A and B are shown apart, each in its own frame.
Chain A
């Protein structure tokens, strides 16, 4: 498949000098990790509160 490999390599030769700063991805990645932690903590707190409310509820 060498010829097709060469053709695909030529076809995907970029005509610009695009590159993304790894530091920008790092910042976005950190932000997503933080958001996930907040959501996970919020969900855990909600479950704990629901459990506490169920225990505290009078039986009638």
Chain B
């Protein structure tokens, strides 16, 4: 990579790292894993940088890498046991299957379109729509079960 690209890379990393780590945290429920996935995704981005389109291509590649490093790994492993503790939204999120969690986080937190979410999760737009609806429904039920009815009600707002 030439020096100009290096400068662009440094600027891009500084701009996106915080948001990426927050997304990774919602996907994993663990700040340490989120930090690891964010760093690894950004290193992979450097390696792929010369062949990526500037703008949307960079963001899409980085997002896909974070999703693969978080949800992709969980898909191949048994679902983690949720540690007992204070019930929170992240605890409820972790009870969702990885793909549903991905849809809910990318659609509702990152506010991606259905097409962008499908690209990040490598699935069809129809699957994104179905998984998002099922994920929000399951999240609402889990929040109610955890004794967080106000959050459960908020989770239903705006769901068609």
Contacts and interface: CB of A to CB of B under 8 A. Distances in A.
Interface of A: 1-14, 16, 18-20, 22-23, 25-26, 28-30, 32-33, 36
B108 A1 contact: yes
A20 B46 contact: no
Contact-residue size bin, chain B (C-beta under 8 Å from the other chain): 35 or more
Nearest to B22: A12
A18 B31 contact: yes
Interface stretch (B9-17, B64-72, B77-85, B117-125): B9-17
User: Chain A contact residues: over half helix, strand or loop, or mixed?
Assistant: helix
A5 B15 CA distance: 21
Most chain B Cβ neighbours within 10 Å, of A4, A16, A19, A33: A4
A8 B90 CA distance: 8
17 contacts: A5-B111, A6-B154, A7-B155, A8-B89, A10-B89, A11-B89, A11-B90, A14-B22, A14-B25, A14-B31, A18-B21, A20-B17, A25-B39, A25-B43, A29-B43, A32-B43, A33-B46
Contacts of A19: 17-18
A33 B105 CA distance: 32
B137 to A, nearest CB: 12
B55 interface: no
Contact of B46 (A4, A7, A9, A29): A29
Contact of B47 (A9, A12, A36): A36
